[in-house]
Amino acid sequence: MEQLSEVVLASPIFIFTLLLLVSLTIPPIFERLRMPGLVGLLVAGVALGPYALALLTHESETMKLLSDIGKLYLMFVAGLEIDLGEFRKTRNRSFSFGLATFAVPLMTGTLIGLAFGFGTNSAVLIGSLLASHTLLAYPIVRRLGIVKTESVMVTVGATIFTDIGALLVLAVCVSIDAGEFSWLNLGLQLGALLAYAAVVLFGFDWAGKIYFRRSSDEEGNQFLFILLAVFLAAAGAQVIRVENIVGAFLAGLAVNDVLRGSPVKDKVEFVGSVLFIPFFFVDMGLLLNIPVFMETLTTNVLMVVAIVGGLVGSKFVAALITKLLFGYSRMEMLTMWSLSIPQVAATLAAALVGFQVGLLSEAIFNSVIVLMLVTSLVGPVLTARFASRLSMIQVPAPRPLPGMGQVLTLAHIPGTEVTPGPFTVVIPIHNPETEDYLIELAALLAHHEQGVIVPLVVVKASVFMDEPELDAAIAQNQRLLNRATDLGQQLKIEVRPTLRIDSDIAQGINRSAKETKANLIVMGYGEMTSLRARLFGNLANQVFWSSHCPVAVMRLLQPPTAIQHILVPLRDLTPSALRVARFAQFLAETNQATVTLLHVYAPQTPGEIRLEFKSQLMALLEMAEKPGLFKLKMVAHDDVAQVILRMADTFDLVILRSLRRRTVAGLAVSDVATQVMRDLECSIVLFGEASSDGFQR
């Protein structure tokens, strides 16, 4: 029996199955406890590790492979999510923060090493261990929708500077210890790094654009091309003796433009997010040696406190310097500080090398393990706390819009572009039972803007165009289209019926919307009941992912003309959130209805944050074209869904904001919308912006 147990535990299939189970179950439990799901994965790694249940071990080749892939994916996605246009604007600030958050911890760690009796070379290496940082909490800012906030982009951009700098210091220290250091070798290393970065950034971008242009309909091969680019860049980094995470980050930057707007981007991120990145966090928990950890805390407590305190304090000083230089707010500074605290990838790699060559003692190595554990837990928790407050107050200052001659209002939120031609609403038709209400609501919106509606049916293409099944499907859908056309004409709105044959229903909808220059897609809500829908998302999710314009998914239980009271939960003041309020205003104006904006905040939210949020929102309401349409309700409660459900009893319609159902770490974005849609008994609109443009008019 014991031999059987050993065989099972060593089986790659068992390891993979256990990791899947952990990734699926643990993060939601910790999120219900109001802790980041990432922390749950780390704790799970400790519990499953060799000093607890002993079900997993870091030494397993399978675990090493899966963890390394997750680490590369994490850095790749971090580079992929950077808006290069915005990054170019902030590259000087990224370099400045990178220099500060590298130099201050480096000097602090060096002084700590000298104070505890280490030689100069070893002390400098200890300083380099504190100089880098790992974007462990990046999934949290991604979930909060503040990746494009300047302070977050500056911190992400600074990562490459700190990691490269720390790894170069490691190379120099090891060379000095081995007696092989020379300024010539250092110059050659820097030259190789610059040449390598140029090849990846420009070469991969050029090759990717050519390949994607020549294989426009081969998403499978495009997916493989991107994976090859990631791991080729990582392997190339190792060839020139640079940590492979630097290569993955550069690969993300390189293919950023290539993947923008491509459905392949979602597939690449999906595979990494739900599989490999959670595995990496579990592996970080496996590295904790419980006995050594306890021994280090008892026999070298002063050294541990000095290293951990020096890291946290020096990173804070670096963030404070950047705040003073560039005028960031206190919450932006704290978010930058919390993001730069975790020490995992580059720190652990450098500590292992330093320990193996004899530059670092076992006490220092154990202290680094403690540092990794503490910062891995504290960093994400602080980021979740500070970044959530930062996301509440992201609204830009009012400014004129080109050609419009008016200031920012709820009707014109930044990111909204003026689309030539009439206001166009595309309505995919599939279910005769929901067709009437969808057409009626779309007609109300289009009539309000003197626009047109485009009833659309998409027939799934067959291999052969002469198959009887295809002809029957066309005839059946044509009847739906004729009925929609008649209804639109009765409502006295211009109707442009469209029938399309396409190999993919979602892509057929989005392509038709693009061809007709649609401003909005209105479609019925499909339940997540089938296995395929649960795994890959229903039709609405697929449309969200690649649509060029907003998508309103509706479950209407009454005629649209009967809607008089609309509830809009509003978590923050980002442009995307305010466009949901804009859509509610758009709909309310057609019926002379009222809109109640509901903001549910945590009871522990500081008073100044609440007042700032309320004052900014009130200022926007006062500038709205018809401020009388809006009411504001702010409620302190820990359960957002419960508040929405309780208030919805007195409303005809609830409009929820939908985000993409994918995340960097494979964790659920939020279950609030899911719970509300399941339990609400009134009409619902799920308003989503899949790509970037927002609500156009």
Chunk the chain into consecutive blocks of 10 residues (it has 697) and report each block's average pLDDT, rounded to whole numbers: 55 87 86 71 85 82 86 78 67 87 92 87 86 78 73 82 77 70 72 84 86 76 86 86 76 80 74 81 77 74 88 92 88 88 73 72 77 81 78 45 33 44 85 80 83 88 69 82 86 88 84 88 66 47 77 85 88 74 82 86 73 76 68 84 86 79 37 70 79 39
Q: Which two tokens stand for residue 548?
A: 């060029």
* Residues 579 and 546: beta-carbon distance below 8 Å: no
pLDDT at 460: 80
Q: What does the alpha-carbon distance between residue 380 and residue 135 come to, in Å, rounded to a whole number?
A: 9
Quickly tell me which residue has 């490459």 as its tokens.
Answer: 160
Quickly tell me which residue has 């250092």 as its tokens.
Answer: 186
Q: What is the pTM of this model?
A: 0.58
Residues whose CB falls within 8 Å of the CB of residue 450, separated by 6 or more in sequence, listed in order: 422, 423
Q: What does the alpha-carbon distance between residue 69 and residue 231 come to, in Å, rounded to a whole number?
A: 9
Q: What does the alpha-carbon distance between residue 528 and residue 521 come to, in Å, rounded to a whole number?
A: 20
* Residues 696 and 419: beta-carbon distance below 8 Å: yes
- Spatial CA neighbour of 151 closest among 486, 372, 465, 383: 383
**Coil, strand, or helix at residue 429?**
coil
- Spatial CA neighbour of 336 closest among 352, 321, 355, 358: 321
Strand partners, 494: 452
pLDDT at 623: 62
Quickly tell me which residue has 């239980």 as its tokens.
Answer: 557
Neighbours of 490 (CB within 10 A): 11
Quickly tell me which residue has 């401003």 as its tokens.
Answer: 519
Neighbours of 662 (CB within 10 A): 19
Neighbours of 201 (CB within 10 A): 17
**Is beta strand 551-555 parallel, antiparallel or unpaired with respect to 683-688?**
antiparallel
* Residues 428 and 456: beta-carbon distance below 8 Å: yes
- Spatial CA neighbour of 432 closest among 361, 390, 367, 487: 487
Could you give the domains of the chain? 2-392 (1.20.1530.20)
Cα separations in angstroms, 504 against 425, 427, 487: 21, 17, 27
Q: What does the alpha-carbon distance between residue 31 and residue 24 come to, in Å, rounded to a whole number?
A: 12
Q: What does the alpha-carbon distance between residue 281 and residue 372 come to, in Å, rounded to a whole number?
A: 12
3-state helix, strand, coil in the chain (%, to 5): 65, 10, 25
